[in-house]
């Protein structure tokens, strides 16, 4: 049985969190002499809101999730790291990964001195059967499901996610960094029923704000409370909070860009499929395509010599290269070069 109390690291349970000046005083004061800030306005002379209330209220409205179920991190990478620090005991618990997948899970696990258990996806990059998954799980910890998966581009059903969560006494982290490029339903809809689920999303991809570093976590209050207790007090700076809020006020614009990227993805998929140098192009629900090439090194070198960088994924997938969807003009250039190289 899942019990959050059982998976919180003992030192975190005992932790008496830092209480910032801005946290202890809430209200409207005219004179702030509590935080050793400069009184001279620079636009940024005050510390940011430690709990990002405005930003969370906006996210709450858009996603239909209560503010108390939202966590904002300095990129999803911070959310992942904090989950390890809070809910995974070094040398005891493990990180379970369905491979190939996003590389940061493993790096973050290693930084936190957590051993990894890899469970290979099938040859078509689907999840293995629930029995195989159950047999691989030998301890508590964090189990990552990336859907749509980076770098393979496919999504997994929410019923598989629920089944896995029900078979696990640790936390299931459902990474939906690319969900806006798919027509899949978000795992946020499962939160009410599944106490050990954390859904993470990001403003780095579909919102075009990778430089801002805004990652979002959705989970039950008791999980969010622990993350709030251990996060750096001012983890989201004033500019990021303001810009994030601004972007969320213009959701229509973001949706337009996303649909353009999706139609460019279909175009690039078809073009790559027609080339003589591709072995297989995988259908994708992300803003990228995975393809296997007969001679990937030639492709990488040729493109690089012409100033185009793509992602070499051969360490994970034999002959596999990942290509992000660019602007229509960039995609045209890419397609023309490849057509010339291998018509």
Ligand X SMILES: *Cc1c(COP(=O)(O)O)cnc(C)c1O
Q: Residues in the site for ligand X, rule: CB under 6 A? A: 75-77, 102, 146, 150, 175, 177, 202, 204-205, 210, 215
Nearest Cα neighbor of 141 from 165, 170, 169 is 170
Q: How far is the CB of 77 from ligand X (least distance, A)?
A: 4
Nearer to ligand X, 144 or 293 (CB): 144
Q: Which two tokens stand for residue 126?
A: 């689907």
Nearer to ligand X, 74 or 196 (CB): 74
Give the residue closest to ligand X by C-beta. Answer: 75
- Reduce the DSSP state of residue 41 to 3 states and report it: coil
Q: Which two tokens stand for residue 61?
A: 């409205």
Q: How far is the CB of 30 from ligand X (least distance, A)?
A: 37
Nearer to ligand X, 152 or 264 (CB): 152
Residue 93 CA to chain centroid, in angstroms? 22
Q: How far is the CB of 211 from ligand X (least distance, A)?
A: 9
38 Cβ neighbours under 8 A, 6+ residues apart: 45
Q: How far is the CB of 83 from ligand X (least distance, A)?
A: 13
Nearer to ligand X, 70 or 177 (CB): 177
The residue ranges of DSSP E strands in 74-146, in sequence order, are 94-99, 115-120, 141-146
Nearer to ligand X, 161 or 275 (CB): 161
Q: Which two tokens stand for residue 96?
A: 């379970």
Nearest Cα neighbor of 164 from 150, 148, 144 is 144
Angle at 103 between CA 254 and CA 269, to 5 degrees: 50
DSSP 8-class letter at 69? G
- Reduce the DSSP state of residue 126 to 3 states and report it: coil
Q: How far is the CB of 202 from ligand X (least distance, A)?
A: 3
Nearer to ligand X, 210 or 251 (CB): 210
Nearer to ligand X, 202 or 241 (CB): 202
Residue 174 near residue 145 (C-beta atoms within 8 A): yes
Q: How far is the CB of 239 from ligand X (least distance, A)?
A: 16
Q: How far is the CB of 21 from ligand X (least distance, A)?
A: 28
Strands 215-218 and 70-73: antiparallel
């Amino acid at each position: 049985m899942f019990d959050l109390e059982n998976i919180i690291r003992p030192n975190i349970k005992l932790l008496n969190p830092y209480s910032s000046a801005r946290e202890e005083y809430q209200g409207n004061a005219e004179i702030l002499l509590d935080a050793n800030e400069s009184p001279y306005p620079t636009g940024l002379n005050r510390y940011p809101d430690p709990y990002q209330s405005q930003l969370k209220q906006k996210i709450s409205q858009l996603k239909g999730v209560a503010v108390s179920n939202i966590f904002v991190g300095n990129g999803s990478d911070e959310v992942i790291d904090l989950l390890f620090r809070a809910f995974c005991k070094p040398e005891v618990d493990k990180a379970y990964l369905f491979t190939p997948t996003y590389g940061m899970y493993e790096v973050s696990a290693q930084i936190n001195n957590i051993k990894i258990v890899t469970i290979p996806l099938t040859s078509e990059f689907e999840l293995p059967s629930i029995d195989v998954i159950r047999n691989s799980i030998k301890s508590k910890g964090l189990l990552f499901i990336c859907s749509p998966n980076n770098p393979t581009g496919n999504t997994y059903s929410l019923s598989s996610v629920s089944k896995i969560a029900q078979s696990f006494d640790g936390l299931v982290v459902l990474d939906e960094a690319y969900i806006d490029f798919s027509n899949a339903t978000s795992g946020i809809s499962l939160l009410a029923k599944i106490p050990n689920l954390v859904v993470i999303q990001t403003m780095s991809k579909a919102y075009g704000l990778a430089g801002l570093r805004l990652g979002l976590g959705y989970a039950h209050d008791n999980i969010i409370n622990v993350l709030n207790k251990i996060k750096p007090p001012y983890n989201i700076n004033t500019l990021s909070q303001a810009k994030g809020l601004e972007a969320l006020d213009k959701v229509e614009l973001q949706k337009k860009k996303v649909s353009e990227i999706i139609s460019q993805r279909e175009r690039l998929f078809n073009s790559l499929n027609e080339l003589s140098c591709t072995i297989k192009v995988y259908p994708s629900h992300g803003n990228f395509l995975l393809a296997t090439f007969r001679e990937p090194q030639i492709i990488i070198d040729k493109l690089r010599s012409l100033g185009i960088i793509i992602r070499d994924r051969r360490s994970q997938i034999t002959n596999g290269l990942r290509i992000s969807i660019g602007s229509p003009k960039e995609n045209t250039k890419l397609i023309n070069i490849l057509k010339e190289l291998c018509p």
